[in-house]
Structure 1
Amino acid sequence: MPTTTTHCSANPPTDANANLSLSAEGQRALQQNEGLRRVYYNDTANNCTFGVGSLAHMGPCTARELGQPVPDSAIRAQLATGIRRAEQIVRNAVPGQALTQEQFDAAVSFAYNVPGGARAALNPANRGDMAAVARNMNDYVYVHAHDAHGRPVGPPLRSDGLVSRRRREAAPFLASPPAPASALEPASGATP
C-alpha cells in the first residue's frame, strides 16, 4: 500500500487580498488617470497606444495606425484584460498583508500603468510599511521615450502628469488606518 506524505508548514503562504477586485470607484479613477482615446495615438513615451492607456506596441504608431479608430468592444476587452493582469500583479506582490479596498484600487491603478515595477514598489506592504509603498510609487514619475524599434531614446523625462497621478495613488497608503473598535472603548472601570 503506497504511503502518502503530507507536508505542513509552520507559516503557510497566505493570499490576504485574494477576495479583492477593483471596485467601480477604482475603475473610474483608473480610467480618469489613463484617459480614453478611441484611436491609436503616441503616448508621452512615444509608444503606440489606444483606449484606456492600452499599449498597442513599443515605439511610435505607424502612419497607417495613427488616428485609426478602435472599436469600443476592443477597448473594453483590452481594459478588462489589463485590469485582471494588474489585480493579479497586486495579489502576487502583496500576499501577506490585507489591503483596504482603497489601497487595493490604488495599487491596481499603479500596476496597470507600471506592471514591471509594481512588485518591487508594493513589496513593503507585506511587512506593513505602507509609507514605503507610497515613497516607492512616487519614484515612478519618469517617461522613457522609445524609437520605432522600442528602444529607449534619450534621458528619462519627469512627467508632471505622473507626479500628480502618483500622489493620488500613494495617498491611501499614507492615510492612517482606522483604530480597532476595542481601542475606542474605555477600559473596564475607567470613566470617560
Structure 2
Amino acid sequence: MGHRDARHRGACTDEELKREVGPAEVEAAFAEHVADAERTVRRKVPNKALSQDQFDALVSFVYNAGWKGSENVLSLVDDGDFKEAAAAISRTIYMTVKTRRGSKQVVARGLIGRRAEESAPFRTTAR
C-alpha cells in the first residue's frame, strides 16, 4: 500500500470523517510532520547557529504556518535579522474565513499567545 499524505487544506470529506484513526496512526502522522518541519528549518537556515529554543520555536512556527507561510521568517533568521524575524512571527496571527461575499482575513485569537512564544527566543537575542 502506497503512502498517502493526510495533510490537506479545507474541510474533510465525508469519507475522511468516517475513517477511524487510531492513536498509533495519529502519533506517526504527527511525528512525520514534525520531522518535515525540522528538515525545513535545517535546510532554510543553514547560515546561522541556532539555540535549542530558537530551533524549537522555528519548528513550531513552520509546523503551523507551513513552509510557504514561514519562508520570509526563515530567510530573516538565516540573514541574522532576529528582530525583524520576531516581528514577522508576531504578525502571523490571521486566518482566512469565507464570507457571503468571498473571504476576509481575521485575527485568530488563539495564535496570539502561540506567536508570542515562538517569537520570544528571537526577541531576547535581537541585536
TM superposition score normalised by structure 2: 0.81
Q: In 1, distance between residues paired with 2:65 and 2:6?
A: 12
What is the distance in 2 between the residues matched to 1:142 and 1:55? Answer: 24
Contact kept, 8 Å, 1:122 with 1:136, in 2: the verdict is no
Alpha-carbon distance in 1 for matches of 2:36, 2:92: 19
**Structure 1 residues 75 and 134, CA gap change in structure 2 (3 angstroms):** same
Aligned to 1:98: 49
Is 2:75 the counterpart of 1:123? Answer: yes
**Which residue of structure 2 lines up, in the alignment, with residue 87 of structure 1?**
38
Runs of at least 5 residues in structure 1 that lack an aligned partner in the other structure: 1-53, 147-152, 178-192
Larger Rg: 1
Matched, 1:157 2:86: no
Give percent identity, aligned residues only: 35
* 2:86 paired with 1:137: no
> How far apart, in 1, do the equivalents of 2:107 and 2:125 lie?
29
Question: Whose helix proportion is higher, 1 or 2?
Answer: 2
Q: Distance in 1 between the 2:77 and 2:10 partners?
A: 34
How many residue pairs match? The answer is 118
| Cα shift readout 1:103-136 (whole Å, capped 9, x = no counterpart) | 0000000000112122211212223211111011
Q: Distance in 2 between matches of 1:139 and 1:127?
A: 19
* 1:63 shift after superposition: 3.7
Question: Cα offset for 1:91?
Answer: 1.1
Paired residue type of 2:84:
A
Deviation at 1:157, TM superposition (A): 1.4
Q: Which amino acid aligns with 2:116?
A: R
Alpha carbons 2:82, 2:125 under 8 Å: kept: no
